[in-house]
Structure formats: structure tokens, C-alpha cells
Amino acid sequence: MKILATYNIKGGVGKTASAVNLAHVAAGRGNRVLLWDLDPQGAATFYFRVKPKVKGGGEALLSGRRELADVIKGSDYDNLDIVPADFSYRHLDLMLDDAKKPLARLRKVLSGVADEYDYVFLDCAPSISLTSESVFRAADALLVPVIPTTLSIRTFDQLDAFVAENPDIVRKLKIMGFFSMADSRKRLHRELMDELREQRPELLPSQVPMDTDIERMGVHRQPVTAMFPKSRPARAYQSLWDDIVERL
């Protein structure tokens, strides 16, 4: 079982869109996939029409009082299951702080379903906090969407700095950055992307374009890869998934 987390310090960069669509693509390839929506806002949960509620809340899961397997909900797609968001997740930091070995907690909880899934996606809220640190510890790879603007590129630098300063936390974590909401009609985007690819050759070759079909996910409450599987953004997520598998 591989654990992949979509992560960026900054909000609104396409973390949830990536987690939802990549999870759907991975499941479509025959992998057994679990998506855990760790963001109390519950955007991923909403896209799958699942109720944002976990019996006993995040506390029950983290304390081990409730097995993760007991709160899993099947999605409308084969091989793709969801752990819903819960309002209590906004106190996840405090809950972790109270727990024994907070950084190892998340991985421990996930180990209960290790036989059932090939891939787990964690969709995180934007921040650097105890929660994200324990996500870093649990995950095999961080999927980091980057909007090609000067500002978001700086957030990528911040993540690098964090990784450099905390080798004990990140350990074997692979960091996979990729462009999100890329608008190749904008000259600024194109130039920034060229420049950044030169600086960071490790960026994944595929990129997710700016596309209104992705916004429409909120209306249809479906992954774009399910709604319009042949569309440009759907194909982008498919080839992004190929890139990720290659790096794992």
C-alpha cells in the first residue's frame, strides 16, 4: 500500500481536484484506492456525495477507539472508497498533540487497511502544522500542485526549506511537484513554467491545465475523469498519474 498526499502550504491551488481525479484514475486502472479527506471543509467528500461525518469524529480514529475500516464509504466508482471529512478535523492538531507518538499516529491508523488498498490518497488542508507533519511521516509521496505564479513558486521553496530542516520527519518521502491551473495562453505562465522547469528538473512532466470542466465538478459532483473521460483535463490527470507511478 502506497500513501500519497496532496499538499501545498497555500490554499486553492488544486490539491483537492488532483486528489479526487487521480484517485479516480488510479481506481479505473484496477487499483484498490482509498481517499481520505482530511480537510474539515470536506470538498473531496462533497464531490463524491458522501456525508461529511465520521462516527466519533477524528478523535475516535486517532485514538484507535474506532477502526478506519468501520468508517469507510464506497464511492459510486469501482475500487474507489472514501474516508469522509468530519467537522472535528479542524481540531486534528490538538488531537494529535494529545496522542502518543503524534507523528506516527496517522500511519498507524492507516496500517489497519494495508491489505485492502493499493493506494491511499490523503487530501490535506493548506498549512504547515502537526497534522501536515504527521502526513509527511505517513506518506510515501507528496503531490504538490504549483500554480505558475511567482508567489506560489515561493511556497514551493518554503516546502523545500522545511524538508531540509526536518530530515527526521520526512525520511523517505518523495516530493513530486507539478503545475496546476496552468494557462499556456498566458505568456507569464509559459515563461514561468519554462524557467521553473529549468531550475527544478524533477518536476513531473505532465501538467494540469486551467479548464472550466474542472470547476464544473462542483456542480456535477463527479470527478472530471468520470464526467468527461476524454476531455483535456481528464487526459492530463491520466498522464499525471502515469508520471507518478513511474516515480514511486
Residues that bind ligand ATP (CB under 6 A): 11-17, 39, 43, 125-126, 180-181, 208, 210-211, 214-215, 217-218
In the region spanning residues 104 to 163, those forming contacts with another protein, defined by CB under 8 A, are 116, 118
Determine which helix (DSSP H) or strand (DSSP E) holds 52, and give its type and residue range: none
* Binding partner of 91, given Mg ion, another protein, ligand ATP, none, CB within 5-8 angstroms per partner class: none
**Nearest distance in Å: CB 228, another protein:** 18
Q: Is 218 in the site for another protein (CB under 8 A)?
A: no
Return the residue of 2, 31, 166, 200 that touches another protein, per CB under 8 A: 31
- Rounded CA-CA distance 54/77 in Å is 21
- In sign, the C-alpha dihedral spanning 102, 130, 6, 163 is negative
Question: Phi first, then psi: what are they for 120, rounded to 5°?
Answer: -120, 130
Site string (182-201) toward Mg ion, x via CB under 5 A: --------------------
Beta pairing, strands 2-6 & 119-123: parallel
Distance in Å, CB of 81 to another protein, minimum = 6
**Conformational region of residue 79, where left means phi above 0, alpha means psi within -120 to 50, and beta covers everything else:** left
**Considering beta carbons, is residue 42 or 102 the nearer one to another protein?**
42
Q: How far is the CB of 227 from another protein (least distance, A)?
A: 14
For residue 71, give the nearest of 121, 23, 34 by alpha carbon: 34
Enumerate the H helices of the chain as residue ranges: 15-28, 43-47, 57-63, 92-98, 102-111, 130-138, 150-165, 167-170, 187-199, 212-215, 217-220, 224-227, 232-247
Binding partner at 4 among Mg ion, ligand ATP, another protein, none, C-beta below 5 to 8 Å by kind: none
Fill in the per-residue mask, 2 to 41: x = in contact with Mg ion (CB under 5 A), - = not in contact. -------------xx-------------------------
Beta bridge partners of 182: 209
Residue type, 35: L
Chain contacts with another protein (rule: CB under 8 A): 29-32, 48-51, 71-76, 78-79, 81, 116, 118, 221
Chain contacts with Mg ion (rule: CB under 5 A): 15-16, 43
